Amino acid sequence: SQTIHQWPATLVQPVGSPLSLECTVEGTSNPNLYWYRQAAGRGLQLLFYSVGIGQISSEVPQNLSASRPQDRQFILSSKKLLLSDSGFYLCAWSGQAGNTIYFGEGSWLTVV
Amino acid sequence: EDKVVQSPLSLVVHEGDTVTLNCSYEVTNFRSLLWYKQEKKAPTFLFMLTSSGIEKKSGRLSSILDKKELFSILNITATQTGDSAVYLCAVEVRGAQKLVFGQGTRLTINP
């Protein structure tokens, strides 16, 4: 069966510091991969999605970037965090047909 | 711009009540609508709806889609405290390989 792992689960980072959140999927090949952010009391905002290695689509202009160095690995990064980057970040995957997506456990980021 | 709107944003009921959550959408090219339940961390998948008028059912939860009026409802009967969660509605846009989410409905079931 397919599983998705995301880490770290929580982190507190100072403003201006770098960020790296990592996500890996097991039990499937060539998945679509996604990074979502959920601010407190709000729905999920799609940040990036990828349909293949090295292929990244950005949905909103922001301080973050994403990379997909391997088929089942998706990384969310920032060179310098802002206070507004605080939130709950969710990695997700779907099959190539899209539709149902499955989420990782999420990462709570607090920028102080 | 593709948009999904859920209502109410928050709902508090007593255990045993029946609740109806609403989701309306405006998208360029609809493919499917999905419901998720989010308790503390990751949202978990509940239903996927693609055809109008066909009810999907799982235990006390059921959902139906109206593609003419562009909305879906999620019903929960005989609610239990374990149903307390944020319920998210999402629409898949055909050809876009992504889901557009609503803001969610925070449901609280009091004993």
- pLDDT at residue number A60: 77
- pLDDT at residue number B80: 97
Instruction: Say if residues A83 and A15 touch (Cβ distance below 8 Å).
Output: yes
Token pair for B40: 């503390």
Residues in chain B with pLDDT values less than 50 = none
- pLDDT at residue number A75: 97
Rg (CA), chain A: 13
Could you tell me the sign of the dihedral formed by the alpha carbons of B99, B103, B3, A86, in that order?
Answer: negative
- Residues of A whose CB is below 8 A from B31: 98-99
Q: What is the pLDDT of residues A3-34, one digit of tens each?
A: 999 999 999 999 999 999 999 999 998 999 99
- pLDDT at residue number A65: 95
By Cβ distance, the residue of B6, B48, B98 closest to A49 is B98
Residue of A nearest to B37 (CA): A103
Under 8 Å CB-to-CB from B40, ≥6 apart: which residues?
Answer: none
Instruction: Say if residues A33 and A91 touch (Cβ distance below 8 Å).
Output: yes
B101 CB within 8 Å of a chain A CB? yes
Between CA A35 and CA A47 the distance in angstroms is 6
Residue A6 sits at φ, ψ, to 5 deg, of -140, 135
Q: What is the mean pLDDT of each run of 10 residues along chain A (112 residues)?
A: 91 96 94 88 84 89 90 96 93 81 92 94
By Cβ distance, the residue of A34, A36, A100 closest to B48 is A100
Token pair for B99: 């889901």
By Cβ distance, the residue of A32, A44, A105 closest to B97 is A32
- Give me the count of residues in chain A: 112
Between CA A63 and CA A54 the distance in angstroms is 19
Residue of A nearest to B31 (CA): A99
Question: Which of A35, A56, A100 to mutate to probe the B interface, most B CBs <10 Å?
Answer: A100
Q: Is the peptide bond before A31 cis (omega within 30 degrees of 0)?
A: no
- Residues of A whose CB is below 8 A from B97: 32, 49, 51, 94, 98
- pLDDT at residue number A18: 96
